Structure 1
Amino acid sequence: MADSLAPACTPLKQEYDSCFNMWFESYLEPTLTNASESQRKAHYARKAEEFEAKCGKVYAEYQSCLHGAVKEKGIEPLLQQAREEHPLREPLPPASPPKTK
């Protein structure tokens, strides 16, 4: 794993990366191909809760450390400019399957 933007944040980054990787592996395990839409939504809601319970605290600590480093390095105005020039948008809804005749 790579070091953090700020050396002081690297231990938190490594802890978060490890937590996320373990959680994400379990997130990908179940096959939901035959699940209904409500089953999929319930599954992903449980996984979001699981992420928050397992990794949420260290993620918040790491983000707080990074925020301080970004301010200290004077990068904040550049990030704001990038957000204004290229804002994140909501993902498009999944395409409907083609209708059969």
Structure 2
Amino acid sequence: MADSLSPQCTSLKQEYDSCFNVWFEEYLEPSLATNATEAQRTAHYQRKAEEFQTRCGKVYAEYQNCIQNAVKQKGIEPLLQQAREEHPLREPLPPSAPPSKDSK
């Protein structure tokens, strides 16, 4: 795993990365099981989302706070804001919707 943007955030990043990787592997299990029903998968994914908050949510929030402080201290915040304005994130289209002419 790579170091964080700021050395004081690296231990939080490593803790979060480890937590997320374990959680995500368990999250994918029903996708790999061919005999699971759609209802079983949906229930599993809901439980896993709740479990993520319980297991990893606190360390994620701490890491995010550390990174936000590092971004401010390094003076990167204006560059990030400029990038967001120039290239805003857009909501993805629903799977059943055809792509619009604007998305090309």
Q: Determine if the TM-score, normalized by the shorter chain, exceeds 0.5.
A: yes
What is the CA–CA distance in structure 1 between the aligned matches of 2:81 and 2:40, rounded to whole Å?
38
TM-aligned CA deviation for residue 40 of structure 1: 4.3
Letter in 2 for 1:55: C
Report 1:34-73 matches (<5 A): 35-36=37-38, 39-73=40-74
TM-aligned CA deviation for residue 30 of structure 1: 0.9
Quick one: percent identity of the two aligned structures? Answer: 76
Q: Which residue of 1 aligns with 2:14?
A: 14
**Structure 2 counterpart SS, 1:88:** coil
What is the CA–CA distance in structure 2 between the aligned matches of 1:7 and 1:84, rounded to whole Å?
28
TM-aligned CA deviation for residue 87 of structure 1: 1.2
Letter in 2 for 1:10: T
**Structure 2 counterpart SS, 1:93:** coil
| Structure 1 portions without partners, runs of 5+ | 97-101
Asked if the contact 2:9–2:63 (Cα under 8 Å) also holds between the matched residues in 1, the reply is: yes
TM-aligned CA deviation for residue 46 of structure 1: 1.7
Q: Which residue of 2 aligns with 1:99?
A: none
Q: Which residue of 2 aligns with 1:3?
A: 3
What is the CA–CA distance in structure 2 between the aligned matches of 1:79 and 1:95, rounded to whole Å?
33
Between 1 and 2, higher relative CO (CA 8 Å, sep ≥ 6) is seen in: 1
Matched length: 95
Provide the aligned C-alpha RMSD in A: 1.8
Asked if the contact 2:30–2:44 (Cα under 8 Å) also holds between the matched residues in 1, the reply is: no
Letter in 2 for 1:2: A
TM-score with structure 2 length normalisation? 0.81
Asked if the contact 2:23–2:52 (Cα under 8 Å) also holds between the matched residues in 1, the reply is: yes
